[in-house]
Amino acid sequence: MPQAPLLCCKYSYIHHDQKGLSQAIDIHDISIPKNIVRVLISYLGALLFLAGSFYLLLMKSRL
C-alpha cells in the first residue's frame, strides 16, 4: 500500500512498503518535476556540443 506522497518544492517522495507474502519488497520513489527551461537549455547545450564536434571533424578532414 503506497503511503501519501511527501511533497517538497524540488521533489516528491513516495514509500511503498509491501506487507504480506513477500516481506522483502521496500520501494522508495523519488520524483523530480521537469522544468521546461532546464530541459531546453540542456538540449541547446547538447546541440551546440554536437555542432562544434562535427565542425571540428569537417575542418580536420579538409586538411
- Domain limits, the chain: 1-32, 34-63
Per-residue model confidence as pLDDT tens digits over 19-28: 666 666 677 7
pTM: 0.49
Question: What pLDDT, on the 0 to 100 scale, is given for residue 48?
Answer: 98
Contact present, 18 and 25 (Cβ < 8 Å):
yes
**Residue, of 1 and 8, whose pLDDT is higher:** 8
> Mean pLDDT across the chain, nearest whole number?
79
Q: Is the pLDDT of residue 35 over 50?
A: yes
